[in-house]
Amino acid sequence: MFRFIARRLLETIPALLVIVTATFFMSRLMPGGPFTSEKALSPEVQHNLDAFYGFDQPLYRQYFRYLGNLAQGDLGPSLNYRSRTVNEIIGEMLPTSLELGAWALLVALLVGLPLGVMAAVRRNRWIDYVSSSLALGGICIPSFVLGPILVLIFGIHLRVVNASGWNEPIDRVLPALVLGLFYAAYIARLTRGGMIDVLSQDYIRTARAKGASETRVILKHALRGGLAPVVSFLGPAIAGILTGSFVIETIFQIPGMGREFVSSASNRDYNLVLGTVIVYAALVVALNLAVDVVQVWLNPKLKFE
């Protein structure tokens, strides 16, 4: 297991390098700059700013200097928040984004797993049709459409929750629902397919023939094997939840990394854009590795090799 984890971590280094390189040069090729404003700066001030941040050097030198600082864990100063570093901003914003992602993942699992199990157990009955219809609706409606609709209904008309913000516990409800329901639909479909496949296996018929209750058959014998497709999906799902928070945090005005990424891209804050992308990429790599380990635990036939 240790060799497996070490090999996977070594394999991610080239991938992260490609991500850093592509983001670095793409951000530099965007029109405008970090010091572009409605009031044009004098040539002397522009020159001093470029010299202070190293923008007067050739692009390849800026790139290698950034890699050197990155190897030491330094993501550089923010170009928009002049008195703060990217490390400080990410350290402040990251917990909010992780909390939003955790609540959204919890919603996805609590909604998707029961719907999928009930649809498989009651296959071709009304509950199966209702679950499949709800899952299809969740897949078809994107979060940037569902979010404003829920805000309009529950935040403006009914006023049972706040339309935006992240101050009270109730503020977590709508963002988590909007972000989690989309992935709950996929989890429901995958759970249904996995459970249907497992429920037709010989060892399930043997358990029923021995007199095991239907609840025991489902929870102890079938669920573990039926969840294998869901676990495989959790890697890209968690990545989608993290990156999907860009839209949700902007809609609900949540002070997280996603909203800060959108703001930094608009303000051409190169270092903050790069830092956000690197942190998200590292989180996705770590979570995918954890999913691979859980897959082997659920299915002993799989080997770490």
SS3 state at 85: strand
Tokens of 29: 């090729």
Q: Which positions of the chain have pLDDT values less than 70?
A: 1, 36-41, 297-305
Q: Enter the DSSP assignment of 6.
A: H
Residue 64 has what pLDDT? 92
Would you tell me how many other CB atoms lie within 10 Å of the CB of residue 270?
A: 26
- Note the pTM of the prediction, 2 decimals: 0.80
Tokens of 225: 């094997």
- For the domain with range 96-298, which CATH number is right: 1.10.150.120, 3.40.50.2000, 1.10.3720.10, 1.10.620.20? 1.10.3720.10
- Separation of alpha carbons 114 and 123, rounded Å: 14
Tokens of 219: 């929870």
Tokens of 60: 């390849």
Sorted by sequence, the CB contacts under 8 Å of residue 208 that are 6+ apart come out as: 214, 217
- Separation of alpha carbons 237 and 247, rounded Å: 16
- Separation of alpha carbons 293 and 299, rounded Å: 10
Residue 42 has what pLDDT? 72
Residue 305 has what pLDDT? 52
Residue (of 159, 151, 117, 106) closest to 250 by Cα position? 151
**246 phi and psi angles, rounded to 5 deg:** -55, -50
Kindly list the domain boundaries of the chain, sorted by start residue. 96-298
Residue 107 has what pLDDT? 92
Residue 135 has what pLDDT? 82
- Separation of alpha carbons 201 and 221, rounded Å: 10
Q: Would you list the DSSP string of 31-79?
A: SS-TT--SSPPPHHHHHHHHHHHTTTS-HHHHHHHHHHHHHTT---B-S
- Separation of alpha carbons 47 and 56, rounded Å: 8
Contact 89, 81 (CB under 8 A): yes
